[in-house]
Amino acid sequence: MLFRSQTAYGNETIEASMNIASSPSAPPGDTSYVLWFDQVSLDDVGRVGGKNASLGELVQNLTSAGIRVPGGFATTSDLYWRFVEDNNLAPIITTTLKEWKSGAIDLPTAGRRIRQSFLGGQFSQDLSDQILNAYEQLSRNEGQANLDVAVRSSATAEDLPNASFAGQQESFLNVQGSAELIDACRKCLASLFTDRAMVYRDTQGFDHLKVALSIGVQRMVRSDLAGAGVMFTLDTETGFRDVVHIDAAWGLGETVVQGSVDPDSYRVFKPLLHRTDLMPIIERKIGAKAHKLVYAEAASGAQTLLQDTTQTDQHTSVLNDREILDLAKWAVAIEAHYGRPMDIEWAKDGRDGHMFIVQARPETVQASDHQATHKVYALKTKGSLLATGLSIGDRIAAGRVCRLDQAVTPSAFAEGSILVAPTTDPDWVPIMKKAAAIVTDHGGRTSHAAIVSRELGVPAVVGTGDASQKLLDGQEVTVSCAEGDEGFVYAGISDIDVTETDETSAADTSTRLMLNMANPGAAMRWWRLPAKGVGLARMEFIISNQIKVHPLALVHFDSLQDAEAKAQISQLTAGYADKTNDFVDTLARGIASIAATVHPHQVIVRMSDFKTNEYANLLGGRAFEPAEENPMIGWRGASRYYSPDYREGFALECAAIKKVRSELGFGNVIVMIPFCRTLREADLVLEEMSVNGLKRGEDGLEVYVMCEIPANVILASEFADRFDGFSIGSNDLTQLTLGVDRDSERLSDVFDEGNEAVVELIRQVIGRAHEKGRKVGFCGQAPSNKPAYAQMLVELGIDSISVTPDSFLKVAQNVAEAESRQ
C-alpha cells in the first residue's frame, strides 16, 4: 500500500520524506473509511486531504461562533489506496507515468489512460456500504430522502500554505441518490490524474505515487436560488491585510471560481468591523453577472444548467450591506483561527436566506510574499487603447497575441505570447505557464484566470468583455496592470520602465511625509510605505474616471435635453432609483479606499477643483457650464461651492464626505478648500458646508485651505482664524505670483517654483500660520523632482510634505539629510 503525504500547518512545511509503506494512516484498530466532518481537523490532512480537513476544522472550532458550515462526511485516504489495490491500478499508474516522463507518450494520453482505469474500477461491497450508509444518515440528518449533495475531491497535497492546487481535481454538484453518488465518487478518484493535476504536481515537486485523494460529501446549499462566491482576507492584488475582498454572483459558486461570469465585487475594511454603528464597505461594484449555474431538471440527465440572468439581476447586488458585513466578520474569525490569510468559498441558501461557508483554504500567493522590495513598472510610451478590464498583478508585458477559444496542448502555444481567451479553467494551466500575459473576456478578481496569474507572477487583464473578438491573432500588444485597478491592452510594443524599490527603507524624519493620491484603485499598491497620511487626495479623479457624470446632470436628470448623454447616464447609474446616490456612494467609497491604506493617519481630501472646461467634458456637463476665455483663473474652487449655479453639486460632494466619515467610519478624512480667493468666500463656503452637515470642529472635522493665491499669504492670519491649516499648492502659487501660465511652453524657463518671490511667500505663510498655531503642508510636485527644494522647505519650517508615491523614498532621504544639517 502507498503512504500518504503529511502536512504541518503550524510551521507551514510539507514533509519531504514520504516513502512507500504498508502501514495504514488510520489509528490502530480503526477500520472506518468514512469520517464525519466533526471528527476531523487540520491534523488529519494525511487522512482526508486539505479541503476536508479544513472543513472539519471549521465545524469543530467555528460553528459555535455562529459560522454555518453544511454538514457532511469524508472518505479517508485509505479508501483511495484500497480502491487502487482492489482494482490492481498501481501497475497501470506506475507504467503510464514512466512512459509520460520518458516522452514515450504525451500528457493527454497518459492522463486519459489512468483516468479510464479508475472509471473502470469498482468499489468493494464494504467500501460502498460505508459511503452509502453515511449518505443515508446525512439525508436523515437533513430531513430529506436522497439528499442533494456536492461531491468534492480533496487531495492529501492540496490547500497547503505554500501550494494551493486550486481547481486541479473535480467537483460534482447536485448529486442525488445512491447510484449517482457512487458514480461521482469514482469520478472524483479518477480526477486525481487530470492533465492539469499531473502538471501541477510535477511543477510543485510532488511524487504522483505519494498523493492520495479523499472524497468530501456535503449537503448542497441551494445557492442556485440565491448566490455564492469567494472571499479573501486580504487584497488579492497588493497583499494589503486590512481588507476582506468578496466576489459574488447569482446561482452556484462555480461560475465565480471558473471565471465564466463578471461578479459583483466588495471590499470591507477590517479594523472598523467591530463597530456596530458603521458600515465600512469601501468598495461595492456591480458586475455584469450575465449567466448563473442552477439545478437542472431531473429528466435532462445533467446535474446543473447554465442559464442567462435577467436585466434586473444583472443590475442588482447579489448581497446587501448587512450580508456583506456578516461574511466579512466570518472571514476575519476564520483568519484569526487559522492564523494566516485565507481563501474562502461561501454560499447563500435561497430557501431560508442563510449564509454558509463551504470551503476555506490558506491563501498562497500574497501571504507568502514577505518582500518589501519589488519591481515597479511604468509605461514610457502607449499605443492606442484596445481593451480594458480588471488588472491582476502590477506588471507590464508585451508580445504577440495568441487567441484561443479552448485549451490546446502546450506545444501548440508559443512561449512569451499574450494569451487571449473568453475565460480559463484548470485545463489551461500548462498554456498559462508559457504566457507573458493573459487577457480574458470574463472573470473577476477571484476567478481561475486571476488566481493562477498571481501564482505564476504573470500580469492579466480579466473581464474585458470582448477582447477575444477585438484582438487579432499575431497582433503586437502591450498589457499593462501597473496603472491601478483597471488593466489596459495597448496596440504595439511599448517602452517599459522597470525600477526596484524597498518600500520599508525610508529614512525616519521629523517632518511628516505624506502621499499625493488620486486613484483609489492604485492606493493599495503603496500600503507598505511608511507614510504619515495623505496630504492631497484629489476628488476629481474619482469623479472623472469612475462617476463620469456632471453632478448637476444627476440632480436634474429628468430635464436633461442631451438624449445621448441621458442614455449613457442611465446605463452608468443602473440600479439607483435616485441617480444622485450613485455619485455619493461612488465618491464616498473611492475616498474610503484611499483613506483605508493609511488609517488611522490623516487624509486631506480636496473638494472638486475642475475648471469649467473640464466640468463641461463630464457627461451632461455642457448644459451647466459657461464658456470661459481663461478657465484657469475663472469659475473654479471655492467660488463654485456657494454659487446658486453649482450649490446642488457641492451638496453631493459634502454628502459623500459625510458618508465617508459618519457611515463608513473614516474619521481620519478631513476637508480642504481649493482656490479660496477672499475671506468672504471662506465664510460662505464654511456656511454652505455646515448647511450640508459638515460643520468645522464637529465630530473632530478639520477644514484646511489651499494656499495657492498671493492673497492667501497676505491675509494668512485672517485665513488661519477660519481654517485649521494650510496646504501650499506651488503650481498655482508660482503661476499667480510670477504671472506665468504654468502650461505655456514658451514661458517654461520662467516658471520656477524656486523663484525668490515664491520662496518668500512660502516663508511668510509658514511664519504667520505658526503664529496662529496652524500647520502648513506642501503638496506640490517640486520636492519630488528637486532634492534642494525639499531641503529648502525643511529649513523654512514646513510641517509636512506630500509627494507622489514613486518619489517617497527619495524625498525621505533628502528631508532626513536636511534635518540632520539643522
User: At residue 351, what are phi and psi to the nearest 5 degrees?
Assistant: -85, -45
C-alpha cell of 602? Answer: 490623516
CB 809, CB 501: distance < 8 Å: yes
CA distance between the termini of the chain:
75
CB 549, CB 620: distance < 8 Å: yes
DSSP characters over 372-413: SEEEEEEES----EEEEEEEESS-EEEEEEEE-SS---GGGS
Residues listed for the chain: 822
Listed residue (398, 394, 404, 395) closest to 417, CA to CA: 398
Q: How far apart are CA 463 and CA 439, in angstroms?
A: 8
CB 448, CB 167: distance < 8 Å: yes
Opening angle at CA 685, ends 681 and 688, nearest 5: 140
Helix 107-119 to helix 195-204 angle (10° resolution) is 120
* SS3 state of residue 719: helix
Q: Is 118 buried (19+), middle (13-18) or exposed (0-12) by CB count in 10 A?
A: buried
Quick count: other Cβ atoms within 10 Å of Cβ 529?
20
CA distances from 719 to 323, 672, 677, 702 (A): 46, 13, 10, 14
Residues 6 or more apart from 180 whose CB is under 8 A from it?
Answer: none
C-alpha cell of 520? Answer: 483609489
CB 669, CB 605: distance < 8 Å: yes
Q: How far apart are CA 327 and CA 367, in angstroms?
A: 20
DSSP 8-state secondary structure symbol assigned to residue 436: S
Q: How far apart are CA 689 and CA 605, in angstroms?
A: 14
Work out whether strand 385-392 and strand 486-491 pair parallel, antiparallel, or are unpaired.
antiparallel
Listed residue (454, 444, 458, 487) closest to 397, CA to CA: 458
Return the active site residues. 448, 779
Taking each continuous run of H as one helix and of E as one strand, the counts in the chain are 29, 32
**Which amino acid makes up residue 720?**
A
DSSP characters over 85-120: HHTT-HHHHHHHHHHHHHTSS-HHHHHHHHHHHHHT
